[in-house]
Chain A
Amino acid sequence: MSTAQEAARGDDPYIIGVGRRSHAGLPRFEHAERTLASKRVISAYGFWIFLLSDIIMFSAFFAAYAVLSGQTAGGPSGKDLFDITRVALQTACLLLSSFACGVASIGARARNDAMYYGGMTATALLGAAFLLLEIREFSGLIAQGAGPTRSAFLSSFFALVGCHGLHVTLGLLWLLTMMAQVFAKGYRADIMRRVLCFALFWHTLDIIWVGIFTVVYLMGLAR
């Protein structure tokens, strides 16, 4: 036990720059409440961190689009291809679906079945409408020979917008799962946390769409 004996000789004389000690008898616990968060806060916070990482992934696709948007390889540019009416319609669908998702969240918190299922159904329908419009846009482009293999510009366009579309698709899958879960299990605390995370996810897709709408479509048409 030589190590313990040496330690027993008393306090270290070298205490420099280590976090400040409590005053005798007056423990500094002012931050103590904040160090152990509730499960709801932990879930939502962790999911936000994940969403931030997702946004960083999109930012890489945005960067690639910014680099390649002029590389049309003699093919069509955004100005020749984009249909502003359809994009406006898509934007309306997605923003309204976010509103519906907010209604569903309030419904879940109020344990109001009509509000929750109604809101979720509206979210799903609007999301599906958005996807349908996107699929029609993509298939139209491919049909007129402006598919992703045509040029680097179109590659980056399809990847960026398609990645968002893929997120919406997975979001729909999650949405239906959450409706089924609440139907089967009720508004249990752990399921409510998932509803919260789903809402965060859906709203984040809106934020990203605002970026796509601006950088890809508006700036592409103004070019």
Chain B
Amino acid sequence: MFGKLTWAAVPLDQPIPLVAGCVAFGIVGGIAVYVVLKGWAPYLWREWITSVDHKHIGVMYIFLAMVMLLRGFTDAIMMRSQQALAFRAPGYLPPEHYDQIFSAHGTLMILFVAMPFMIGLINIVVPLQLGVRDVAFPTLNSVSFWLTATGALLINLSLVIGEFARTGWLPYPPLSELDYSPGVGVDYYLWSLQISGVGTLLTGVNFVTTILKIRAPGMTYMRMPIFCWTALASSLLIVAAFPILTATLAMLLLDRYLGFHFFTNEAGGNPMMFMNLIWAWGHPEVYILVLPAFGVFSEVVSTLSRKPLFGYRSMVAATMAICVLAFMVWLHHFFTMGAGANVNAFFAITTMIIAVPAGVKVFNWLFTMYGGRIRYAPPMLWSIGFLVTFVIGGMTGVLLSVPPADFVLHNSLFLVAHFHNVIIGGVLFGAFAGYTFWFPKAFGFRLEESLGRAAFWCWFLGFYLAFMPLYVLGFMGMTRRMQHYDVPEWHPWLLLAAAGAAVILAGIGLQIAQLVVSFRHREQLRDTTGDPWNGRSLEWSTSSPPPAFNFAVLPRIEGGDAYWETKQRALRQLVLADEPAYADIELPRNSATGFVCAFFATFLGFALIWHIWWLAAVSFLGAFATFVAFAWRDRTDYRVSADEVARIDRENRSARRAALAQLGATE
């Protein structure tokens, strides 16, 4: 009846995951009860859960990313403290639990923190920057989000029911085959990624279509803000790379569930094929994450230096070059696995070449800042912190791309330091830069700045404290994923790294405090004009938060930095452009399809993990029925009347007129 699921699946003998899981689910359940008791559930259902508005979906993505960041960071703290304690001692985490922690940490941070954060920013910003009302497929967008949330839920469910994978963030066979990992851990990993991978793929399809087919009149490719270009490159990479992940994980699933021999040691299986296939996805995945971050920095550096981006065309060329080269470097992840000197040399050279467009970007940002009037607000601090940190991470990457050096440093803590250097310094700093930059646009009030600065400095210093020692440890020969060790020289460096993690923890605490303080003082921090940073692109031309239809009238674009020109004209003449002729606007209706579909997908994933076949069949039919019900509805749009559009737009215009009048009075 319940497949492999028995009461033994609840890890009563392991108090740490059980208590942590119960606390986490208790908090989530408590919040849910509180929301219902307060009578907020209908609001939540109407405005968020069933919303197909790209801005709301983007906010939910980022919320998911932040919650998962807390979970992933808890894992990080546990690993750092375990290694600080485990010098000639067992520490407090037994090996089988420690292995689950580093596997969950990597999986969560890459796929459920970095990915949703970037996709969330893309969701909120890209349609606004393109000057349009929504993405190409709004309901599909909601489905994508909820499938990602399903994946996150399944991974966290493994805390209290069963176990998580002990195979690292990429489950290398033959270790991940049934013979060596007979538990459900790897299955949790595989089904979570399969389900959320479908969501990510659909997001990629959605944004490729949006950016290539839906732009405001006059928004030609070379007038698009760089963030749109990087979102396009990232979406193209998603469309090209995620199917490889789906296929590879499907092969491993077939091995595990039906006794196939793709990656087994016996019957002609080829474990090395898994390495090639998974990294043919895995390396582009790195660029899927970092390219939108590059876009964020481009917007932030240009806006807060009050200059147009230096070398726009070279920035576009560099972005697209990275997009293509991303598929030509995967083998550098396993130089040591015996592909031979010539093959290694080829991939070493392509890896070094990909540093060139990245370098072009760095110089473009520097020259954008050069001669600018820089405002050191938190987004700019994250950007400058990124520039310094990312250059170091890039250089250690080029070092690792030299095969002889890689043979020495492979699987050492030097590698761990390198990829945290680029992913924290690049992706996460980019995510936080974007979060602080666009927060006023999404919510209508600014984030408190002094706490933001303090949070930045804690993260920045904590990062260096936590990861620079790992470079040293790598040179000292310490390999990654060690549960305990007995080399006395390593111990002080690991204590230092643990202290760094504590400083980062303070940074996270300050970020939470910043959010709470900003929310409580939201009236003082209110962004009345919709343009808090003196912005250059179209998202700043509408109110904060934007109305459901984004723009009362679609803007007509006549050049790069589309909003800057319009604003300059208004500032010169101290009058707004004439009121446009308003018309009715059709918007897509809310839909519960995404949520209901993800509800069934959760049960489908759970049933497949535990071999409960009848439940899997029922869930699949439920998901199919949901889609048919969605396809059967007759009214897909609702209409906002011209009067209503005019009323909303006049509010925005009067706020801007007041700002202009104030400006005229001071001159």
Is B182 part of the contact surface with A, judged by Cβ < 8 Å? no
Is B209 part of the contact surface with A, judged by Cβ < 8 Å? yes
Give the chain A neighbours of B246 by CB distance below 8 A: 57
* A53 and B268 form a contact (CB under 8 A): no
Give the chain B neighbours of A80 by CB distance below 8 A: none
Is A159 part of the contact surface with B, judged by Cβ < 8 Å? yes
Is B632 part of the contact surface with A, judged by Cβ < 8 Å? yes
**Which residues of A, 150-169, contact B by the 8 Å Cβ criterion?**
150-153, 155-156, 158-159, 163
* B307 and A148 form a contact (CB under 8 A): no
From B132, B205, B267, B559, A152 is in contact (CB under 8 Å) with B267
Is A222 part of the contact surface with B, judged by Cβ < 8 Å? no
- Prevailing SS type, chain A contact patch: helix
Is B223 part of the contact surface with A, judged by Cβ < 8 Å? yes
User: Which stretch, A22-30, A133-141, A205-213, touches the partner chain B?
Assistant: A22-30
The CA-CA distance from A127 to B569 in the complex, in Å, is 63
* B277 and A158 form a contact (CB under 8 A): no
The CA-CA distance from A81 to B204 in the complex, in Å, is 40
Give the chain B neighbours of A42 by CB distance below 8 A: 136, 209, 213-214
What's the least CB distance linking B288 to chain A, in Å? Answer: 14
From A28, A57, A173, A190, B247 is in contact (CB under 8 Å) with A57
From B205, B220, B571, B628, A4 is in contact (CB under 8 Å) with B571
Most buried by B among A10, A67, A152, A184: A152
From B209, B219, B375, B636, A49 is in contact (CB under 8 Å) with B209
What's the least CB distance linking B505 to chain A, in Å? Answer: 34
Give the chain B neighbours of A185 by CB distance below 8 A: 632, 634
The CA-CA distance from A14 to B564 in the complex, in Å, is 13
* A53 and B242 form a contact (CB under 8 A): yes
The CA-CA distance from A12 to B305 in the complex, in Å, is 11
Q: Which residue of B lies closest to A41 (CB)?
A: B213
The CA-CA distance from A126 to B554 in the complex, in Å, is 48
Give the chain A neighbours of B558 by CB distance below 8 A: 21-22, 27-28
What's the least CB distance linking B259 to chain A, in Å? Answer: 4
* B268 and A17 form a contact (CB under 8 A): no
Most buried by A among B208, B260, B266: B260
* A73 and B244 form a contact (CB under 8 A): no
Q: Which residue of A lies closest to B258 (CB)?
A: A148
From B204, B216, B247, A61 is in contact (CB under 8 Å) with B247
Task: Given A45-B209, A153-B268, answer yes or no on A60-B260 (Cβ-Cβ < 8 Å).
Answer: no
Q: Residue-by-residue, is B549-564 near A (CB-CB < 8 Å gives 1, otherwise 0)?
A: 0000010101111001
Is A143 part of the contact surface with B, judged by Cβ < 8 Å? no
**Which residues of B, 115-173, contact A by the 8 Å Cβ criterion?**
132, 136-137
Q: Which residue of A lies closest to B263 (CB)?
A: A152
* B254 and A60 form a contact (CB under 8 A): no
**Which residues of A, 47-103, contact B by the 8 Å Cβ criterion?**
49-50, 52-54, 56-58, 60-61, 63-64, 67-68, 71-73
**Chain B interfacial residues counted at CB < 8 A:** 86
* A8 and B242 form a contact (CB under 8 A): no
Is B534 part of the contact surface with A, judged by Cβ < 8 Å? yes
Is A223 part of the contact surface with B, judged by Cβ < 8 Å? no
* A16 and B310 form a contact (CB under 8 A): yes
From B209, B533, B628, A46 is in contact (CB under 8 Å) with B209
Is B659 part of the contact surface with A, judged by Cβ < 8 Å? yes
What's the least CB distance linking A205 to chain B, in Å? Answer: 16
The CA-CA distance from A68 to B568 in the complex, in Å, is 64
Give the chain A neighbours of B17 by CB distance below 8 A: none
* A37 and B205 form a contact (CB under 8 A): no
From A50, A67, A152, B261 is in contact (CB under 8 Å) with A152
* B663 and A151 form a contact (CB under 8 A): no
Give the chain A neighbours of B220 by CB distance below 8 A: 19, 28, 31, 35
User: Which stretch, B1-9, B311-319, B333-341, touches the partner chain A?
Assistant: B311-319
**Which residues of B, 523-554, contact A by the 8 Å Cβ criterion?**
533-534, 554
Q: Which residue of B lies closest to A184 (CB)?
A: B632
What's the least CB distance linking B557 to chain A, in Å? Answer: 9
Task: Given A6-B373, A46-B205, answer yes or no on A16-B251 (Cβ-Cβ < 8 Å).
Answer: no
Give the chain B neighbours of A31 by CB distance below 8 A: 218, 220
* A1 and B214 form a contact (CB under 8 A): no
* B663 and A1 form a contact (CB under 8 A): yes
Chain B residues with CB under 8 Å of chain A are 132, 136-137, 201-202, 204-206, 208-209, 212-220, 222-224, 239-240, 242-244, 246-248, 250-251, 254-255, 258-262, 264, 266-270, 273, 277, 280, 306-314, 371-373, 375, 533-534, 554, 556, 558-561, 564-565, 567-568, 571-572, 624, 628, 631-632, 634, 636, 659, 662-663, 666-667
CB-CB nearest 10 A-B residue pairs: A71-B268, A152-B268, A60-B247, A18-B560, A57-B243, A19-B560, A46-B209, A19-B222, A155-B260, A19-B223
**Can you report 29 residue pairs joining A to B where beta carbons are below 8 Å apart?**
A4-B663, A5-B666, A7-B306, A7-B534, A8-B568, A8-B572, A8-B663, A18-B560, A27-B558, A35-B214, A35-B220, A42-B136, A42-B213, A45-B212, A46-B136, A49-B208, A49-B239, A53-B242, A56-B243, A56-B244, A57-B244, A61-B251, A71-B267, A73-B261, A152-B262, A152-B264, A156-B262, A158-B260, A173-B624
